[in-house]
Amino acid sequence: MTNRIRYGLLCGILLVQGEVQGAINLLATRLIYQADSTETSLMVRNDDGAPSLLQAWVDEGNANLGPDRSQAPFLVTPPVMRLGAGKGQALRIYRVANRALARDRESLFWLNVLGLPPRARATGARVQIAYRTRIKLFYRPAGLAGSPRQAVAHLVWRLEPGQGLRVRNDSPFHISVSEVLLEGGQGPQAWREAALIPPLGELRLPMAGLKGVSHGRLRWIDDDGNYHEQGFGLGGG
């Protein structure tokens, strides 16, 4: 089966997501590729009762592009494999020197794992169709000052009248946000749309009714996928 046909089957993912979710498990929610390492790796397990064909690749952020159109400077091996029921396999990710990446901040890519039953079949109301898992891959240059934890503690939060909340990240690290909880003003408010605060950049949260809010708490995710909370104060607009 060609890459194009396999990838085209993703059109039906939402129809069967609840039935196939969890069959192929990635044993991490994010990967950190250290610039001074020769590779990074990810364990994948097939917890379904039947074997599955897997295809893996890295993209630059466009989820609609298949592996044949990706320009990401990373190679995944094996790119295609058959994974037996109850079996595990290590995917190895290598950087290929086809272009320079930023040295003063992290770069963000995405690792894709596409699963496809070897023989598509229907049993009753269940139809087996291709499905995909996608996780963040952070390329981290050597010698960056500080750490993600330190970066979270030094985020700058400001209220913008009529626009919401703005947070500035002066560090070279991406900050993975799970939720933002605000207190004061008209009562507790929450932002629960997962997002990234880019390195040396900012994120705007279009929240309404923030008059009088003075402080809050950020729930963020570390390199290992663990959740933490960090309090913060708010400045004026």
Q: Which two tokens stand for residue 52?
A: 């599955």
CATH of range 148-233; options 3.40.190.10, 3.40.50.150, 1.10.490.10, 2.60.40.10 = 2.60.40.10
Q: Is the pLDDT of residue 132 over 70?
A: yes
> Looking at residue 7, what is its pLDDT?
44
- Taking residues 80-85, report their average pLDDT: 93
> Looking at residue 162, what is its pLDDT?
75
Torsion of Cα atoms, 203 then 208 then 214 then 220, to 10° = -40
Query: Average model confidence (pLDDT) for the chain?
Result: 85
> Looking at residue 200, what is its pLDDT?
98
- Average the pLDDT over each of 66-70, 174-178, 187-191 and give the range with the smallest value: 187-191
Domain boundaries, the chain: 3-140, 148-233
| The domains spanning 3-140 and 148-233 adopt the same CATH topology | yes
| CATH H-level, domain 3-140: superfamily | Immunoglobulins (2.60.40.10)
Q: What percent of the chain shows pLDDT beyond 90?
A: 61
- Average the pLDDT over each of 15-29, 53-67, 95-109, 129-143 and give the range with the smallest value: 15-29
Backbone φ and ψ for 13, nearest 5 degrees, come out as: -60, -40
